């Protein structure tokens, strides 16, 4: 049983500075909630003289992270990246020190290793802040829905891409202009690759799927597509058909022993709740056999909102330290395997640039029919210089069948290119 909780904070960036602020300014309140005094014993940084979003007592900053870890009861890791974060977290967990982390990239790649170290020593590894900022989604999956069977999770898990796509939809901006605005406002990094290529959302999807399906998945199990190929024409065409484009992370059971995990741009009907998620906000839908449909919505990033999730994890595990007893282990008893895209069933929006000739459209629909794919709606733009744009929305089809049909269509002499293939989410799956 702990009489005082000594906290080591690793990292003093946007989220780390806000976590430090809460630990200091709300110290008395935290003590009452936890049942023991809380002491921030130090903040590990690379440069003790750098400017911060919030400045703690200068004596707290240190470059000696290992010494800080060794002196702490709880380690809060907010540095990001794989190394040295992995080595530092393992050092803490192997010594029996509980860890709170917001490091989605690390957890998506090495989560199994870190959880094994926590289980062996009886420490607690908590990481609510790794997914969807302030939105409580991981603990509900792990705890509140532990007696249910989650069948599907889908949602907007990256605020940067949601802001970009929302700007393209509401203002008609191009991708490059919307990205520049996101960078200007601080929503996107100078190098936005992790966001716009879908890697950030893929890390979160791997974490969510592991908890939802009681299995172990890594980022390598996630099929990932970004939004860099989405054009203003795609967005305008979606709007004309009553849809909005969002980058969705989708985790769904496939049969009894498999799960498909993917991140891809998706057309969503305007009346779908996710279509109304604007700006840099996140929203996650969970579908379970008994609970039905649940939606979690809120700010998916930002220093203070994410620090709120960090402190929620901290208070939870600190209470356990005060009362005594080991941390709560993860359960991966189901061990579903990650499946490919071949058997994923979806509707699709397909854009084809064709020569304006008699029979071209009939030829394309014939090929789709031969591959078991029927067309729900179709629009053709007025020809310009002998070239027309065809956009079709299909009925539900297997991904493998759609890809085979697209390959045949793309090889036609009358087809300039298949310039857009985007999945379509129905109101009801």
Active-site residue flag, 204: yes
Q: Pick from 71, 72, 82: which is nearest to 104 by CA? A: 82
Catalytic residue among 204, 246, 384, 398: 204
74-77 and 5-10: which strand pairing? parallel
The pair of structure tokens assigned to 350 is 């397909």
Is there a binding annotation on residue 317? no
Angle at CA of residue 298, ends 146 and 114, nearest 5°? 50
Is there a binding annotation on residue 15? yes
Is there a binding annotation on residue 12? yes
Is there a binding annotation on residue 11? yes
Angle at CA of residue 348, ends 347 and 349, nearest 5°? 140
Residue 320 phi, psi dihedral angles, 5° rounding: -65, -35
Is there a binding annotation on residue 334? no
Is there a binding annotation on residue 104? yes
Is there a binding annotation on residue 38? no
d(CA 402, CA 396): 10
Is there a binding annotation on residue 96? no
Q: What is the 3-state secondary structure (H, E, C) of the chain?
A: CCCCEEEEEECCCHHHHHHHHHHHHCHHHHHHHHCCCEEEEEEECCCCCCCCCCCCCHHHEECCHHHHHHHCCEEEECCCCCCCHHHHHHHHHHCCCEEEECCHHHHHHHHHHHHHHHHHHCCCEECHHHCCCCCCCHHHHHHHCCCCCEEEEEEECCHHHHHHHHHHHHHCCCHHHHHHHHHHCCCCCCCCHHHHCCHHHHHHHHHHHHHHCCCCCCHHHCEECCCCCCCHHHHHHHHHCCEEEEEEEEEEEECCCEEEEEEEEEEEECCCHHHHCCCCEEEEEEEECCCEEEEEEEECCCHHHHHHHHHHHHHHHHHHHHHCCCCCCCCCCCCCEECCCCCCEEEEEEEEEEECCCCHHHHHHHHHHHCCCCEEEEEECCCECCEEEEEEEECCEEHHHHHHHHHHHHCCCCEEEEEEEEEECCCCC
Provide the annotated binding site for L-homoserine: 189
Provide the annotated binding site for NADPH: 104
Known catalytic residues are 204
């Amino acid at each position: 049983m702990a009489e005082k909780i000594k906290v080591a904070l690793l990292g003093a960036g946007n989220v780390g500075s806000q976590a430090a602020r809460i630990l200091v300014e709300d110290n008395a309140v935290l003590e009452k909630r936890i049942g023991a005094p809380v002491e921030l014993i130090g903040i590990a940084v690379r440069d003790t003289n750098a400017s911060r979003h919030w400045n703690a007592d200068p004596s707290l900053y240190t470059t000696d992270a290992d010494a800080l870890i060794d002196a702490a009861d709880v380690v809060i890791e907010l540095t990001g990246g794989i190394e040295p974060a992995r080595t530092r977290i393992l050092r803490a967990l192997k010594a029996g020190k509980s860890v709170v982390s917001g490091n989605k990239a690390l957890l998506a790649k090495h989560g199994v290793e870190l959880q094994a170290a926590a289980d062996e020593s009886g420490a607690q590894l908590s990481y609510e802040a790794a997914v969807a900022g302030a939105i409580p989604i991981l603990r509900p999956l792990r705890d509140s829905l532990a007696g249910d069977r989650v069948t599907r999770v889908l949602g907007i898990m990256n605020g940067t891409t949601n802001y970009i796509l929302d700007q393209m939809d509401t203002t008609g901006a191009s991708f490059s202009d919307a990205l520049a605005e996101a960078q200007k406002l601080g929503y996107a990094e100078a190098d936005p690759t992790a966001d716009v290529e879908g890697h950030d959302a893929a890390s979160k999807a791997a974490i969510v799927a592991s908890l939802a399906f009681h299995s172990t998945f890594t980022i390598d199990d996630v099929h990932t597509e970004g939004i860099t190929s989405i054009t203003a024409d795609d967005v305008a065409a979606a709007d004309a058909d009553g849809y909005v484009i969002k980058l969705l992370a989708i985790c769904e059971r496939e049969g009894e022993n498999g799960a498909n995990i993917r991140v891809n741009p998706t057309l969503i009907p305007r009346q779908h709740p996710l279509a109304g998620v604007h700006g840099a906000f996140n929203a996650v839908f969970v579908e379970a056999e008994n609970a039905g449909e649940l939606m979690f919505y809120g700010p998916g990033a930002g220093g203070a909102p994410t620090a709120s999730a960090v402190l929620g994890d901290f208070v939870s595990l600190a209470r356990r330290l005060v009362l005594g007893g080991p941390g709560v282990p993860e359960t991966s008893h189901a061990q579903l395997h990650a499946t490919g895209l071949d058997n994923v069933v979806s509707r699709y929006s397909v854009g084809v640039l064709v020569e304006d000739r008699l029979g071209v459209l009939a030829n394309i629909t014939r090929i789709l029919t031969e591959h078991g794919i029927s067309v729900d709606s179709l629009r053709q733009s007025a020809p310009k210089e002998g070239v027309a744009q065809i956009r079709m929305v299909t009925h539900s089809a297997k991904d493998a069948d759609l890809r085979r049909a697209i390959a045949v269509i793309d090889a036609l002499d009358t087809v300039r290119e298949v310039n857009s293939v985007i999945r379509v989410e129905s109101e009801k799956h």
